[in-house]
Structure 1
Amino acid sequence: MATRSASSSPSLVHALPHDMAVEIAGHVAATSPLPMEDLRSLRASCQAMRAACSNRDVGRRVALEREAAAMRWADHDRYLAVVGILSGAGNPKACFLAGIALIFVHRSAHQGAELLGRAAMAGHKVAAYVLGVLLYTYNTDNAVDDVARRHMRQVEGDEEVVSGDDDVAIAKISNSECVRCRAQAVEAVSQATWKMAPELPKTTTVSNMVTPEEDASHRCEVSGCGAREAWSDSAVFCSEECRIRYECAMFISQLPLTVANFAA
């Protein structure tokens, strides 16, 4: 009885449903130490995987930060091309990085804000932080201010309710998550704009922080508003308004000097 040769037997990969092939490629994109390199190899394996790797869902799941460390400096042009491709697929990290570049390098605030908005909608907290700060800082529209506050609440989550004097419940408005997001945002801006300055960016120190009380445009009279929490770089505020004003001042003051006045 004749047996079918190995060369004529159908590929198991070809037999996979497209949705399953996409899920496999997406898992590689999300978990591989070098996702772009492994996806390239997967695409070359067969036509079915080529189609799967081209799916937008796979692009959205690529863990870009794993490629960034090596590719950003070793092959910067390719890195920028990858960021562009993945931002087109809706990858949150790529949308964030592309948005930062559009705003701070190319001075395209509207397009950059759109990309930051996509990243924020996908749960990217640092994008939500930057978008909230910029919207609040550079507009005079109350409706836009409300959007900015909503982005800041996305960063910090629900406010903690604590007991005050006479057991009156008060809100504890913290910026602990903002501190983390601010550091990442300033680093992203510095990396995007490093070619714009011959020297390392100068940033403010803790002693130079602007508190709500020191902001001439908003002098908070509540005692303890903006006070630092023990053993922490975060602070506690009396209201969302004070917190977002503080973060606006802090973020802009910590940007590289070459881009701090980008909107001027």
Structure 2
Amino acid sequence: MVSTRSMAARAKAKQMNRPSATSATMKELALCHDNVVHIACLVAATSPEPIADLLSLRATCKAMHAAAKERDVGKCVPLERLDNMKWMENERYLAIVNHLVGAGNPDACFITGVTLVFAHQDMEQGLLFLNKAATAGHKAAAYVLGLLLYKFDDARATGKKYISQVEDDGNEAATGVGVKRTNRECQQYRKIVGDVIQEATWKVGGRRGRMLVLPEDSHHCTATGCGVESGWEGYGVFCSDDCRIKHEYSKFFTEVMNYLP
């Protein structure tokens, strides 16, 4: 067969446009890595012993070793599954929490933020970590962050938004006749945050009760029955966001001030 110059040129162009074996292999490897990371995330999120199982995964092969070290995997570890380690191997637990903070784990950021604010009186850094956790959807972090921000005049509106995030009513109209707010979820997270504060501060010396000072604002409620607890669940119904957050602020700090350092 006689090969003309034009035929040779077309063949060369076709060869150049064909994906190389190396390029295809790299794409397959990237896809494979993403799948392995997804598997590691599922293990981290669902395992009753996530740290032990992630370490086992890392030992299986190079692909799993690389995947288990990804930040996305660290974000999925629920610290509530490490309760035994917290009491039996506290130093190791704290090291893991510190590592997971670097991965952006919401639970770890929440615990670190609470510890900084209430045990070390580092409000600035503590609020940063609490904000990271709340932004990731951590409701306990949103609860305490909302109350802490309520103390500051220029952040009071933001504080109320975080409390609305806890109650899942942030998309509803905040004002208007007949609008009601409850603290059904706030009750639950008040207890959770209180327990974490107590754990963070029990080793801090010189503990003393503090006098509760409710931040001043211009809102004065005149509604009958606003905030009165009713029903077997014991939650209150409030006429506005302002009344709800004032109630929660008072309740929360009244409960925790006895073990604040």
Give me the TM-score of the superposition, normalised by structure 2: 0.79
1:156 counterpart residue number = 167
What secondary structure does 2:180 align onto?
strand
In structure 2, the partner of 1:18 is 33
Cα displacement (A) at 1:217: 8.7
| Superposition deviation, residue 77 in structure 1 | 1.0
Does the 8 Å CA contact 1:178/1:247 hold for their aligned counterparts?
A: yes
Q: Is 1:125–1:154's contact at 8 Å kept on the other side of the alignment?
A: yes
Are residue 119 (structure 1) and residue 130 (structure 2) matched? Answer: no
> What amino acid sits opposite 2:84 in the alignment?
A
Question: 1:28 — aligned with what?
Answer: 43
- Provide the rounded CA distance (Å) in 1 between the counterparts of 2:35 and 2:171: 43
Alpha-carbon distance in 1 for matches of 2:235, 2:145: 20
1:243 matched to 2:251: no
Task: Answer whether contact 1:196 1:258 (CA < 8 A) is retained.
Answer: no
* 2:163 aligned partner, one-letter code: M
Aligned counterpart, 2:55: 40
Distance in 2 between residues matched to 1:216 and 1:83, nearest whole Å:
38
Is 1:190–1:256's contact at 8 Å kept on the other side of the alignment? no
The 5 Å alignment of 1:23-172 reads 23-67=38-82, 69-137=83-151, 139-141=152-154, 144-158=155-169, 170-172=178-180
Q: How far apart are 1:196 and its partner, in Å?
A: 2.3
**How many residue pairs were aligned?**
226
**Counterpart AA for 1:140:** D
Structure 1 runs of 4+ with >6 Å offset: 215-218
Partners of 1:244 and 1:216 in 2: CA distance:
12
Aligned-residue Cα RMSD (Å) equals 2.8
Higher CA-based Rg: 2
Q: Deviations over 1:65-98 (max 9, x none)?
A: 111x101110111111111111110111111111
Instruction: State percent identity of aligned pairs.
Output: 45
Match of 2:16 in 1: none
Match of 1:193 in 2: 201
Cα distance between partner residues in 1 of 2:205 and 2:95: 23
Greater strand share, structure number: 1
In 2, the alpha carbon distance for the partners of 1:57 and 1:82 equals 15
Equivalent residue letter for 2:251:
M
TM-score by length of 1: 0.78
The aligned runs of 1:4-15 (5 Å cut-off) are: none
Task: Give the Å deviation of 1:45.
Answer: 1.8
Moved more, 188-197 or 94-103: 188-197
1:222 corresponds to which residue?
223
* Structure 2 residue matching 1:222: 3-state secondary structure: coil
Unaligned runs of 5+ in 1: 1-13, 162-167, 203-209
Structure 2 match to 1:9: none
Q: Is the 8 A contact 1:197 1:258 kept in 2?
A: no
Q: Per-residue displacement from partner, 1:190-212 (whole Å, max 9, x unpaired)?
A: 1111212699x99xxxxxxx9x9
1:197-231: CA deviation from partner (whole Å, max 9, x where unpaired):
699x99xxxxxxx9x9xx99965322111111221
Which sits farther off after the overlay, 226-235 or 181-190? 226-235
What amino acid is aligned across from residue 240 of structure 2 in structure 1? Answer: S
Task: Give the secondary-structure state (helix, strand or coil) at the position aligned to 2:169.
Answer: coil
Whole-Å separation in 1 of the counterparts to 2:253 and 2:218: 15
Question: For structure 2, which runs of at least 5 residues remain unmatched after alignment?
Answer: 1-28
For residue 203 of structure 2, give the secondary structure of its aligned residue in structure 1.
helix
